[in-house]
Structure formats: structure tokens, C-alpha cells
Amino acid sequence: MNIIFYHPTFDSKSWIEGINQRLSDAKVRAWHRGDQDPADYALVWHPPQEMLAPRIDLKGIFVMGAGVDAILTQELRHPGTLPAGVPLIRLEDTGMALQMQEYALASVLRYFRRMDEYQLFQQQKQWRPLPAHQHSEFTIGILGAGVLGSAVAQKLTELKFKVRSWSRTPKSLPGVESFYGDDRLADFAKGCKLLINLLPNTPQTAGILNKNLFSQLCSGAYLINLGRGMHLVEGDLLKALDGGQIAAATLDVFVEEPMQRMHPFWSHPRVSITPHIGADTLPEEAMDNIVANIRAIESGREPIGLVDRTLGY
């Protein structure tokens, strides 16, 4: 079994050794330009076009992340980058769900307990107690009810928050009010005091965080974007912040990463920024997932995380 590996920043040596330890009969190599030797599987992140295009005999292409929007966009711009008929498989969970739970909880509790406002008061040397938010009036809406969205929803319900979810197709999560379909998006948003975005990036979801959606939320709502930068219409958020419809926003993902130094988000007093660290790929967990999927394919079973290219996830 031959496996090729490409990642522009990961240490290929540690990944090759890790996969070899888990699959003793595998020969894993780092792919370099000009490598046309046989391969059964490919492990990739932002691969060059010529790496995969001619490899129609691959049994599977593993994307080393939960999102596949980058490689699907590459295929859209350069048709043939992904060989037709080869299964595309993304990482599911592999430690990312726990990381997203941690990030979401930290941000939700910061707003729920009004710590962001107290931080501003401290800078102004103001001793100013605020009325506490109440669980009954602090409905949290989660855009996306997949592995990550459902994990965040579960943790929030454990803390007695009222949680609702929206997805493009029907989903049922314990203790969560579920909405699905474009015609229910406005109903989902009405009454939400805090919105968390964990949608995949697809042509259908691009720009979903916009003025129309913001206007449906409770006045003075909060936004946490953990999906992709393309989901957010940045100008609409700035206007919503300045008008008070959105009280504050925590952003981990951006249209351009890193942001330009003059971007208004850097200096906005009600915007908190982190550099796309919501959930990192954890090598050990990711390698376990990939190897388990390779064994599934070799045994004639369907892998976990198989991507529907038409849906984009």
C-alpha cells in the first residue's frame, strides 16, 4: 500500500512515521513535484494541482481538516484538480469537537456574565455593576448541526441554556429546538440573544451572516463566528455593531487571513479577534482517524467523513 503526503506547514516526517507505525504494510512518502509513482491514498492540505489530477486510481483522498471548502474551491477554479470518482474524506471530530466546545463556552460565558463590558469599565476606571443576564432570556442559536455544532449544543444544554439549531437538512439534537431549510432561517433567528456559526463553507452558506439575519436577532445580540470568514458580510457587521443591533462579536475566522493591519476589526472596541485557533488538527487523533478509514475502505466499508462534493461537506 502506497500513501503520499502533502501539507505546506506540517512536519511531514512525524506524520509519515506515525502512519507507518499504525499501518505496518504501508509505504508512506512525502510528495514532491515530479512524483508520479503509484499511490493508493493521498493525505493532503492545499495540494498543488498536479499532485492529484492524474491519479484516477486513488482509493481515497484524505483532507487533513474538518473543512473541505479550500480543496473544492481549487477544483472549481481548476477543474480536474480532484480526479473524478475518487472518494474525498474529511476529518470528523479527532479532538476538534472538544476544542470547539471550549472556545464556544469561553465566549458564551464571557458575554452571559458580561465580562466583556466589565473589562471596558475597568479600562475606564468605572465601578459599575450591571443587571445579570437570565437563562430564560438568553436563547443561543447555532448555525450548523453537524459534528461540531451538535457537540457545542450538547455542552450548552448541560449548562441549562435554551439552545436552538439551524441546518440545511433535518437534524435532531437532544434538548435542542431544531430548524432546517432556508424558509425557516428567519424563524430560527427570532429570539436569539447569541448566535454561533459553525456552518461549512459552501456557495449556499457564503454571506449568511448579513444584515438581514442580524435584524432578526434580539436587539443587542452577540455573534461568535467559528465557521469561515466567507460566511460574514463584514460591512454589515460593522453597521450592526455601530447601530447597537449587535452588542459584540467574537471572530476566529476572516475573509483574508491574516487580516491587513488597517482592518477596522482590529481597533473596534466591541470586536474580539483570535487567529483561527478555534480547533486545530491534532496529529495523533487525526492519524488514528485516517488509518481507521483506510482499514474500512480496504475491508469494503464506507469511511467516516465521506464528502458529498455537490453539497460541499
Candidates 276, 295, 301, 309; catalytic one? 276
3-state secondary structure of 229: helix
Distance CA 169, CA 23 (A): 37
Residue 276 is a catalytic residue? yes
User: Element (H or E) spanning 103, and its range?
Assistant: helix 96-112
Among candidates 235, 234, 226, 201, which has minimal Cα distance to 280?
226
Q: What is the DSSP pairing of strand 192-197 with strand 246-251? A: unpaired
User: What's the maximum distance between 2 C-alpha atoms anywhere in the chain?
Assistant: 69
Q: Are 44 and 61 in contact (CB under 8 A)?
A: yes
Residue 73 has which C-alpha cell?
Answer: 474551491
Distance CA 74, CA 171 (A): 29
3-state secondary structure of 152: helix
Q: What phi, psi does 178 have (nearest 5°)? A: -105, 135
Residue 46 is a catalytic residue? no
Distances (CA, A) of 34 to 10, 49, 50, 52, 283: 20, 12, 9, 12, 27
Distances (CA, A) of 297 to 40, 58, 87, 134: 11, 11, 10, 49
Residues annotated as part of the active site: 228, 276
